[in-house]
């Protein structure tokens, strides 16, 4: 299972802290470009809020468009983190080691980005304070006794997203303490102080390590249910809408969760490949890791496909005219039918065909291509669920219409992608995206078993 030559701590520190201790030349240039895109997107959003929603492509039947699609997409990406770090931690998979932290941090940032979407998509964002303060603990406005309406999925959403965001941030910080200690010992001046603060005087004695390890497992077990609930609740935004026939389907919760894992894990694989490329971490993010991710993705994708087929079959099963109308719109009306074909091809058939061949799994270029098309496909999936359902709501054919996104919406969507990349790049400058101690642990635990003439790679396990 394990490949690559053994490494000692000095080397691990030197090579993995390269992203922090000395930043490459292109760094600030890339940051500036991304920042500019984000600025443009922000000004576009400001323009939209100032002018009103007329500047978007939304209209009366189709009241939700690109923004909600993007919201669901980024929430989906955010499911990679816990999926990988938690499930792989619990199943003690050796190849998780380099992947966990990048995944968790991607979770945090994509969640933050996702949360901006519903806010700017409201008609009066300056009033959303009345809505987004619906944390489990902070219902707004005790004084006037005006409470949030907990009957709506739009209140379940913030509570779930906040829970997920809070717990993943804390999870990341706890797992970072030992690496902060490493940085504390490597830096000087103000950054030394800050890292010292964050490391909280970590010494690395037996007790601290023991609890660190337990924390990893325990927190994973606790966050997993949250991670499932978050995307289920996002899906219930649609599932609860009884008037939109194609949304009101019981399978939506697991269907969305599996789809989220599908897109999220591919996104993590992509991030890992990019990190390996820009920081030269060939010794840490090895082909075997990407390979394992791809094999995991085959299973996830097939599960997703099962749910997709269920959803479509039972869409037709009802034989209700309004639902058939939506399905017709999706599958026969151009250009939607073309988008539909592209989406199914990109999300399932093309990538799985790629992942089935070992040589392709081991080729980073093909892998990154596969991961990108999966995410394009998943973005389309959300779009093709949301818009046709609204465009063919109910049977008052007089009101049927379609949806044409406006430039403003396009700019903002692009901006979110730039924002996430910018945040990832920035954080790579501040914390190590590959957990140092996890790698070192893997190094000391690796051993091998001799069976006859062959030596099989093996690991020490505490139980």
Residues 415-454 that bind another protein (CB under 8 A): 436-437, 440-441, 443-445, 447-449, 451
Specify the DSSP element, H or E, that contains 407.
helix 407-428
Q: Is the CB of residue 270 less than 8 Å from the CB of residue 372?
A: yes
User: Which of residues 167 and 363 has its CB atom nearest to another protein in the complex?
Assistant: 167
Alpha helices for 187-286 (secondary structure H): 189-199, 206-239, 252-279
User: Which of residues 62 and 346 has its CB atom nearest to another protein in the complex?
Assistant: 62
Check residue 232 for interaction with another protein (CB under 8 A).
Answer: yes
Check residue 174 for interaction with another protein (CB under 8 A).
Answer: yes
Minimum separation from the CB atom of position 355 to another protein (A)? 14
Q: 371-400: which residues touch another protein (CB under 8 A)?
A: 390, 393-399
- What are 306's two structure tokens? 């099962």
Check residue 191 for interaction with another protein (CB under 8 A).
Answer: no
User: Which of residues 51 and 357 has its CB atom nearest to another protein in the complex?
Assistant: 51
Q: 136-165: which residues touch another protein (CB under 8 A)?
A: 136-137, 139, 145-156, 159-160, 162-163
Torsion over CA: 198, 199, 200, 201 (sign)? negative
Minimum separation from the CB atom of position 283 to another protein (A)? 16
Check residue 167 for interaction with another protein (CB under 8 A).
Answer: yes
Closest CA to 377 of 354, 356, 353, 350: 350
Q: How far apart are the C-alpha atoms of 333 and 448, rounded to whole Å?
A: 59
Choosing from 24, 52, 280, 407, the residue that interacts with another protein (CB under 8 A) is 52
Q: How far apart are the C-alpha atoms of 239 and 232, rounded to whole Å?
A: 9
Q: Which stretch binds another protein (CB under 8 A): 69-77, 230-238, 267-275, 328-336?
A: 230-238
Choosing from 5, 25, 144, 207, the residue that interacts with another protein (CB under 8 A) is 207
Check residue 213 for interaction with another protein (CB under 8 A).
Answer: yes
User: Which of residues 45 and 425 has its CB atom nearest to another protein in the complex?
Assistant: 45
- What are 421's two structure tokens? 């990349």
- By CB atoms closer than 10 A (0-12, 13-18, 19+), residue 145 is exposed
User: In a 3-state reduction of DSSP, which class is residue 165?
Assistant: helix
Interacting residues of 10 by C-beta distance below 8 A, sequence separation 6+:
none
Check residue 1 for interaction with another protein (CB under 8 A).
Answer: yes
Q: How far apart are the C-alpha atoms of 36 and 171, rounded to whole Å?
A: 31
Choosing from 131, 281, 336, 343, the residue that interacts with another protein (CB under 8 A) is 131
Q: Is the CB of residue 103 less than 8 Å from the CB of residue 27?
A: no
User: Which of residues 32 and 200 has its CB atom nearest to another protein in the complex?
Assistant: 200
Measure CA 393 to chain center. Answer: 30
User: In a 3-state reduction of DSSP, which class is residue 175?
Assistant: helix
Q: 83-112: which residues touch another protein (CB under 8 A)?
A: 90, 94
CA dihedral 406, 409, 411, 414 (to 10 degrees): -130
Choosing from 27, 53, 331, 410, the residue that interacts with another protein (CB under 8 A) is 53
Q: Which stretch binds another protein (CB under 8 A): 182-190, 259-267, 377-385, 416-424?
A: 182-190
User: Which of residues 109 and 291 has its CB atom nearest to another protein in the complex?
Assistant: 291
Check residue 265 for interaction with another protein (CB under 8 A).
Answer: no
Q: Is the CB of residue 67 less than 8 Å from the CB of residue 115?
A: no
DSSP state of 137: S
User: Which of residues 248 and 410 has its CB atom nearest to another protein in the complex?
Assistant: 248
Minimum separation from the CB atom of position 90 to another protein (A)? 8
Number of C-beta neighbours around residue 304 at 10 A: 26
Q: 298-357: which residues touch another protein (CB under 8 A)?
A: 306-307, 310-311, 313-319
Minimum separation from the CB atom of position 138 to another protein (A)? 10
Minimum separation from the CB atom of position 198 to another protein (A)? 10
Q: Which stretch binds another protein (CB under 8 A): 19-27, 208-216, 346-354, 360-368?
A: 208-216
Minimum separation from the CB atom of position 309 to another protein (A)? 9
User: Which of residues 25 and 453 has its CB atom nearest to another protein in the complex?
Assistant: 453
Q: Is the CB of residue 322 less than 8 Å from the CB of residue 392?
A: yes
Check residue 23 for interaction with another protein (CB under 8 A).
Answer: no
User: Which of residues 36 and 316 has its CB atom nearest to another protein in the complex?
Assistant: 316
CA distances from 347 to 133, 170, 247, 258, 371 (A): 36, 32, 20, 12, 9
Specify the DSSP element, H or E, that contains 451.
strand 446-451
Q: Which stretch binds another protein (CB under 8 A): 52-60, 261-269, 342-350, 414-422?
A: 52-60
Check residue 251 for interaction with another protein (CB under 8 A).
Answer: yes
């Amino acid at each position: 299972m394990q490949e690559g030559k053994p490494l000692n701590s000095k080397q691990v520190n030197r090579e993995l802290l390269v992203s922090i201790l000395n930043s490459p030349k292109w760094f600030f240039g890339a940051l500036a470009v991304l920042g500019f895109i984000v600025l443009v997107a922000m000004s576009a959003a400001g323009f939209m809020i100032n002018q009103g929603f007329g500047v978007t492509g939304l209209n009366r039947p189709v009241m939700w468009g690109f923004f909600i699609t993007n919201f669901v997409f980024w929430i989906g990406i955010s499911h990679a983190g816990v999926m990988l770090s938690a499930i792989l931690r619990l199943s003690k998979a050796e190849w998780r080691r380099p992947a966990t932290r990048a995944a968790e941090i991607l979770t945090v940032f994509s969640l933050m980005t996702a949360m901006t979407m519903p806010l700017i998509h409201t008609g009066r964002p300056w009033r959303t304070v009345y809505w987004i303060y619906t944390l489990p603990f902070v219902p707004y406005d005790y004084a006037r006794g005006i409470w949030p309406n907990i009957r709506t999925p739009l209140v379940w959403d913030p509570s779930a997203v906040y829970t997920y965001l809070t717990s993943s941030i804390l999870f990341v910080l706890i797992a970072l303490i030992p690496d902060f200690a490493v940085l504390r010992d490597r830096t000087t001046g103000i950054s030394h102080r800050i890292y010292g603060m964050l490391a909280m005087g970590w010494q690395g004695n037996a007790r601290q390590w023991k609890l660190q390890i337990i924390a990893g497992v325990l927190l994973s077990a606790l966050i997993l249910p949250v991670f499932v609930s978050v995307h289920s609740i996002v899906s219930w935004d649609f599932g609860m809408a009884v008037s939109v026939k194609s949304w009101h389907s019981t399978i939506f919760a697991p269907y969305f969760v599996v789809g989220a894992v599908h897109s999220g894990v591919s996104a993590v694989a992509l991030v890992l490949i990019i990190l390996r490329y820009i920081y030269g971490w060939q010794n840490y993010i090895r082909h075997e890791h990407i390979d394992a991710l791809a094999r995991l993705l085959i299973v996830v994708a097939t599960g997703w496909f099962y749910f997709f087929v269920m959803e479509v079959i039972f869409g037709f099963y009802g034989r209700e005219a309004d639902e058939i109308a939506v399905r017709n719109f999706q599958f026969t009306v151009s250009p939607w039918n073309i988008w539909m074909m592209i989406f199914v091809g990109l999300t399932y058939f093309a990538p799985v065909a790629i992942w089935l061949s070992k040589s392709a799994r081991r080729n980073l270029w093909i892998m990154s291509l596969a991961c990108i098309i999966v995410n394009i496909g998943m973005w389309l999936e959300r779009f093709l669920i949301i818009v046709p359902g609204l465009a063919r709501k109910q049977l008052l054919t007089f009101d049927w219409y379609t949806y044409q996104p406006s430039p403003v919406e396009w700019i903002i969507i692009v901006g979110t992608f730039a924002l996430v990349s910018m945040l990832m790049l920035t954080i790579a400058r501040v914390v190590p995206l590959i957990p140092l101690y996890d790698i070192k642990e893997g190094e000391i635990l690796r051993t091998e078993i001799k069976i006859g003439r062959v030596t099989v790679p093996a690991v020490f396990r505490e139980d």
